[in-house]
Structure 1
Amino acid sequence: MTVYRIGVLAGDGIGPEIVDAAVQVVKNASCKAGVKMEWIHLPMGWEGIKQYNDPLPEVTIDALKHTHGWILGPHDSAAYPLKHKEKRNPSGELRHSLDLYANIRPAKTMPGIKSVVKEADLVIVRENTEGFYADRNMFSGHGEWQITKDVVVTSGVFTRKAVERIAHEAFALAMQRRKKVTIVHKANVLRLSTGLFLNVCREIAAQYPEVKVDDYHIDAMAAHLVRRAADFDVIVTENMYGDILSDLAGELVGSLGLAPSLNANEHIAMAQAAHGSAPDIAGLNIANPTGIISSAAMLLKWLAEKHADRKLTEVAATVEHALYQTLQAEVKTKDLGGHASTSEFTEAILEKIKSLQH
């Protein structure tokens, strides 16, 4: 039997509270299914700075390479000392250095959660390594240059290799869902850069004849999401557009605080909630762990597929069902209009896990 090595990077702010909640939930669900996991706690953020003078120490990166995947808590990089702010933040560095090129961000209406849209079940597949995020598209340096005190130039990088592999991720995912992919770009203005993105995605689409394909400019897509989110299945786009659209989609289905994500390549994956570290409520036991718990479930599904492990599929389903049943039972944290603390919300999920049948 495989023992899955799972890294745990608690992070900053509310990170330790919500990551601990996710670990408890996955531990209980995996024990129930008879799946063995080894949890490897590693320093990141302020913990890394205190121990190694680095928010993402090399010891952490090296250890992650020997795991099956990991859970990454939020970081408060805006508050780090200046010398650390000048580097990529921990999340960006992990995506860049480990080539986690696919950022999968689902947005789905959930039971018991008020949403702006009546119904939605879509996934934004975001290219994670280049595009218009200058700090992630350079081999060395940050991709921004201050020419004079009043002039700054920033780079956007688009390569066929990167577009091809994210397009394959999107179309393969669509084949498992409703077989529809929407390509988001700005090729009417950025004709070479996002034009390449659009054209290469269309080339890849020809390899998936069962999938229906359409495309929208980024500005129009934002409007379409607000107006008719339920019509979309899989949306594929470049780095910055994907970040913006996924935040919008998260709010439309309930709250960005609920939004999960997975960062992955062919070999390894990182679960990471889409929200930040919320330092203003850190340590108050009122943070909502839904986003990171859902992200952990995504990691379990990814591992289940990679290792052809039905037991892991069962664990992921247990985590999701217990979470949804808890929300449907109106057990909610303060941000959702409820009265449950972080620990009370987590305990309610654990009770649901105990009651679920195999």
Structure 2
Amino acid sequence: MIVLPGDGIGPEITAATQAVLRAASDRFDLGLVMEEHDVGHASLARHGTTVRPELLDLAKAADGLMLGPTATFDFKDEAKGQINPSKFFRKELDLFANIRPARTYPGLAAPVEDFDLVVVRENTEGFYADRNMAEGSGELLVTPDVVVSLRRITRACCERIADAACRLALRRRKRVTVVHKANVLKLGDGMFLDICRETVGRYPGIEMDEVIVDAMMAHAVRHPGRYDVIVTTNMFGDILSDLTAELSGSLGLGGSLNAGSTYAMAQAAHGSAPDIAGQDVANPYSLVLSAALLLDWHGERHQAKRFGEAARAIEAGIARLIADGNVTRDVGGSLGTAAAGAALAAEITRPT
């Protein structure tokens, strides 16, 4: 596994996550080898670029990639080596599906009813200006006072994200909710909605409903327990998945996997939080849960059950620690970042 700690709290939560992964590897005989490289500001200072080109070959040769949060807002000029690492790997590895689970936990007060859902977000096009053009940006400065933002929606990308949502639903409660704005974006979201209908129709036993995105924000707050797998376009999914993660009790519990047909990247759902960097207070469990998703993806891809078992052990261990209050401050405990990682590593290796 290639490990890229990133910026801000990235090195702290990455170290905690590696402690958990080593414990899981020992218990389940995974044979994990983690190879660490600089990315972000550390790489810019050392190599003159936030992402060295050779990292792409290393990622392709590895069984998985783990990216800590990076200071993406700081990186504005690629000509000066300021490349957005998240965008770089998502685009170059064609990681078209952003899988974002969210759930409530016994022992952690949440502002809503109990729920367990997954947002499946298209990851490679939409309104995101840095990934919807072969060259250049999808935002155009027409005059100093006028900006035009281009949104790309393609049949191929709609088909594969809808298919990913259906395949995930088969492993869960067999219900897919399509979130869209086809009442206004009649062509782009209209095509997305039609393709989702066609795709679900090829999966007998899966139920489907359709919700307009603004209404979905209200429904997610009022009654999130009704949802299983939610599939949507890039920007809507970005916003909705942060909302559902926070509804679980903390964005620090939001796992995130960027997956494609061949490669996958674990990535925390949150940013680099420079205001608390170096203070040993950040919750590492978003990156830990993301790493568990990566283990599960690898296990399913290679039919290696022990990786899925390790992923479930990590998730169950986090649930037990939350119930006991043996966690970081944002979820009701008093542990620091490193101690939270150590507690989970011990929980995974504890005899049952």
The TM-score with structure 1 as length reference comes to 0.95
SS at the partner of 2:208? Answer: strand
CA–CA distance in structure 2, aligned partners of residues 25 and 48 of structure 1: 25
* Stretch moving more, 332-341 or 168-177: 332-341
Q: Percent identity?
A: 46
In the TM superposition, what are the counterparts of 1:186-335 in structure 2 within 5 Å? 186-335=181-330
Q: One-letter code of the match for 1:285? A: D
Alignment deviations for residues 194-231 of structure 1 (CA, whole Å, 9 cap, x no partner): 11100111111110121111101111111110111000
Residues 85, 271 of structure 1: CA spacing in aligned structure 2 closer, same or farther, 3 A cutoff? farther
Residues 93, 318 of structure 1: CA spacing in aligned structure 2 closer, same or farther, 3 A cutoff? same
Residues 50, 148 of structure 1: CA spacing in aligned structure 2 closer, same or farther, 3 A cutoff? same
CA–CA distance in structure 2, aligned partners of residues 231 and 268 of structure 1: 31
Q: One-letter code of the match for 1:328? A: A
Aligned to 1:3: none
CA–CA distance in structure 2, aligned partners of residues 260 and 55 of structure 1: 24
CA–CA distance in structure 1, aligned partners of residues 122 and 76 of structure 2: 29
Aligned to 1:164: 159
Q: Which runs of 5+ in 2 are unaligned?
A: none
Of 142, 145, 150 in structure 2, the residue corresponding to residue 150 of structure 1 is 145
Aligned to 2:11: 16
SS at the partner of 1:65? Answer: helix
Alignment deviations for residues 278-334 of structure 1 (CA, whole Å, 9 cap, x no partner): 111111111110101111111111011001001112211222222221111111212
Contact 1:7 1:42 in 2 (8 A): yes
CA–CA distance in structure 2, aligned partners of residues 139 and 231 of structure 1: 39
Q: Which runs of 5+ in 1 are unaligned?
A: 1-5
Of 9, 23, 26 in structure 1, the residue corresponding to residue 21 of structure 2 is 26
Q: One-letter code of the match for 1:347? A: A
* Stretch moving more, 231-240 or 328-337: 328-337
Contact 2:49 2:81 in 1 (8 A): no
Deviation (angstroms), 1:80: 4.2
Alignment deviations for residues 158-217 of structure 1 (CA, whole Å, 9 cap, x no partner): 111000000000011111111100111111111001111001111111101211111011
Q: One-letter code of the match for 2:339? A: E
RMSD over aligned Cα, in angstroms? Answer: 1.5
2:132 equivalent to 1:137: yes
Q: One-letter code of the match for 1:353? A: I
CA–CA distance in structure 2, aligned partners of residues 104 and 221 of structure 1: 18
Aligned to 2:42: 47
Of 325, 345, 348 in structure 2, the residue corresponding to residue 350 of structure 1 is 345
SS at the partner of 2:33? Answer: strand
Alignment deviations for residues 252-293 of structure 1 (CA, whole Å, 9 cap, x no partner): 111112211100111111011110111111111111101011
CA–CA distance in structure 1, aligned partners of residues 224 and 79 of structure 2: 39
Contact 1:44 1:60 in 2 (8 A): no
The TM-score with structure 2 as length reference comes to 0.97
2:123 equivalent to 1:128: yes
Contact 1:55 1:84 in 2 (8 A): no
CA–CA distance in structure 1, aligned partners of residues 62 and 158 of structure 2: 27
Deviation (angstroms), 1:83: 5.2
SS at the partner of 1:214? Answer: strand
SS at the partner of 2:210? Answer: strand
Aligned to 2:99: 104
Alignment deviations for residues 84-113 of structure 1 (CA, whole Å, 9 cap, x no partner): 799652111211111100000011112322
Aligned to 1:76: 71
Q: One-letter code of the match for 1:309? A: A
Contact 1:88 1:135 in 2 (8 A): no
Alignment deviations for residues 317-353 of structure 1 (CA, whole Å, 9 cap, x no partner): 2222222211111112122232111122122112212
CA–CA distance in structure 1, aligned partners of residues 227 and 330 of structure 2: 27
The number of residue pairs the alignment matches comes to 352
Contact 2:295 2:308 in 1 (8 A): yes
Contact 1:104 1:263 in 2 (8 A): yes
SS at the partner of 1:71? Answer: strand
Contact 1:43 1:60 in 2 (8 A): no
